[in-house]
Amino acid sequence: MGKLALVNGRLIDGTGREPRDGWGLVVDGAHIETVGPVQSLRMPSDAEIIDVGRRTIMPGLIDAHTHLSYHRSEYALILQQMNEPLELNTIKATENARAILLMGCTAIGDGGCRGSIAVAIRDAVNAGIIPGPKVVAAGQMLSGSGGIADHTAAWGYHENETYLGVVVNGPGEVRAAVRKQMRLGVDWVKVTASGTPGNLWIGGRTPDLGYEEVSAAVREAAKFGKSVHAHAHDPVGLKDAVRAGVISVHSGEYADEEGLELMRQRGCVLVPTIAWLHYRTQEAYAREYTRAHKLGGAELRRFIDDCREAYEACRGTILKAYERETPLAIGSDGAHVFPPFDLVHEMAYFQELGIPPLQVLTAATKGSAHAVGRGDAWGTLELGKAADILVVDGDPAQDVRVLGDKSRIVMIVQDGRVAKDVMAREPVRV
């Protein structure tokens, strides 16, 4: 990594400030050395200077909630866990990592995986072995008996590293599970504070792990300097998780006014997953996702209706959170899985609800960095922050859907390294 200067652009710094024309920045190694109007930039004599031709310079996107181990070749997660070896799933996750980076996501928060797949992908990306986003890696999700990670079946109870989650009951079991994950090298811990819309045994309005259990996870992780994030749809589970000290809540569509205010006061970031919920209302997907359960027509309709109710609730919650200034971030739950396979699809829902494009971009950069516990280092183009940068042919501050056309993301820089460069060069004018 050498020194790099991007000049003569329209700069969106990710802080929420209005774009500024005729600005640029200088990168020294993995970090931003200076940002400002081109006339005031001090250009190192050994820097490569690139005139971006009035294109947009902005921070890399961050998917605050995804799952590297999910993939398009098997929507039925139970069947994937039963039939696909971890080794094969890891290979597929490397393909996912490359696809996610080329979406313009320079970093992600993995929200739970089989085994230690996210840790392995994180380390392979950091070592330069594979291309991919920087990963804040979780291990297996922690849920209670009867929760979404409970793999009790007709043939009996089964739990091992091949599953997406592990069952914990009571603070003692929570602490033991957290310590095991610390030993495996996770960056944060995922807990389930509720069920999921459409789930056959614990729906989205049913709490799972309670305050004492989530609090035990938070305290244990804190001993190792790590944080906890929560899956929560229902208002009771959400408030228990926030009071326990999680840094972000994923989903949250049934949050009430008290919960949204509590999140605002505590700086806990809400990460809705509205595109995922909407996709679950499609009958073709619903049939594929639930086929392991061999649902009848009425049962399938209940799944779809539950997901549709949650989707409609999510629309309202996003707007209420925005109006109340509850911290918001963008998370997809698997942008590489669900058509059109892009984090920008999630962002477009926010824009279509009436949230200004610039604020959506802020949620997908600064907001998401805070949601994954990296707000001090990622998410904005400011002095000393990570040099995670997109150069875009167009203005996403006017319409975030510009980022959906990947040919218009002409350059991706990650920690100062150029990961993509298809930009036609113009003469440097400094």
CB 181 within 8 A of CB 226: no
In angstroms, the CA 289 to CA 262 distance is 34
> Between vectors from CA 204 to CA 198 and to CA 205, what angle results, nearest 5°?
130
* pLDDT value of residue 340: 81
Chain centroid to Cα 326, Å, comes to: 17
* Range name among 18-22, 151-155, 398-402 with the lowest pLDDT average: 151-155
337/343 Cα distance (integer angstroms): 10
Per-residue pLDDT averaged across 190-209, rounded?
95
**CATH ID of 3-60+379-421, from 3.30.530.20, 2.30.40.10, 2.40.110.10, 3.30.300.20:** 2.30.40.10
Hey, what are 286's tokens?
A: 């619903």
Average pLDDT over residues 308-330: 98
- Vertex 245: Cα angle to 218 and 270 (nearest 5): 120
What does the pLDDT average to over 403-418? 97
- In angstroms, the CA 142 to CA 140 distance is 6
Phi, psi of 47 (to 5 degrees): -85, 145
Task: Report, as an integer, the average pLDDT of 143-152.
Answer: 91
* Beta pairing class for 105-110 and 417-421: unpaired
Residue 154 is given by DSSP the state: T
Among 351, 365, 423, 375, CA closest to 105: 365
Which of 177, 193, 107, 129 lies closest to 369 in space, CA to CA?
A: 107
Asked if residue 284 lies in contact with residue 307, where contact means CB atoms within 8 angstroms, the answer is no
pLDDT recorded at residue 292: 85
Element (DSSP H or E) covering residue 50: strand 48-51
**Residue 260 CA, distance from chain mean position:** 20
* Average pLDDT value for residue range 272-281: 95
Instruction: Indicate if the pLDDT at residue 428 is higher than 60.
Output: no
C-alpha angle 88/90/96, rounded to 5°? Answer: 110
Residue 430 has pLDDT above 70, yes or no: no
Neighbour tally for 345: CB within 10 Å: 21
Q: How confident is the model at residue 1 (pLDDT cuts 50, 70, 90)?
A: low
Q: Is the pLDDT assigned to residue 159 strictly greater than 80? A: no
* Mean pLDDT across 91-120: 97
pLDDT given for residue 426 in this prediction: 61
pLDDT value at residue 156: 67
pLDDT tops 90 at residue 209: yes
Domain boundary assignment for the chain: 3-60+379-421, 61-371
Q: Is the pLDDT of residue 280 over 80?
A: yes
pLDDT at 429 over 60: no
Rounded to the nearest integer, the mean pLDDT of the chain is 95
Q: Which pLDDT score is estimated for 75?
A: 82
Q: How confident is the model at residue 261 (pLDDT cuts 50, 70, 90)?
A: very high
The residues facing 142 across adjacent strands are 166, 191
Mean pLDDT calculated for residue range 150-168: 82
The distance in angstroms from the start CA to the end CA of the chain is: 23
What's the whole-number mean pLDDT along residues 232-249? 98
- Model confidence at 64, pLDDT cuts 50, 70, 90, reads very high
Q: Which amino acid is at 254?
A: Y
Q: Does the domain spanning 61-371 belong to CATH 1.10.3720.10?
A: no
Q: Across the beta sheet with 165-167, what order do the strands follow?
A: 165-167, 141-143, 188-192, 227-232, 248-251, 269-271
| DSSP letter assigned to residue 31 | E
- Work out the average pLDDT over 322-335: 97
Q: Is the pLDDT of residue 157 over 80?
A: no
Structure tokens at 41: 């930039």
User: Rounded CA gap, 142 and 119, in Å?
Assistant: 16
In the chain, what is the greatest distance between 2 CA atoms, to the nearest angstrom?
71
Q: What is the pLDDT of residue 155?
A: 66
pLDDT digits over 286-307, tens only?
999 899 888 999 999 999 999 9
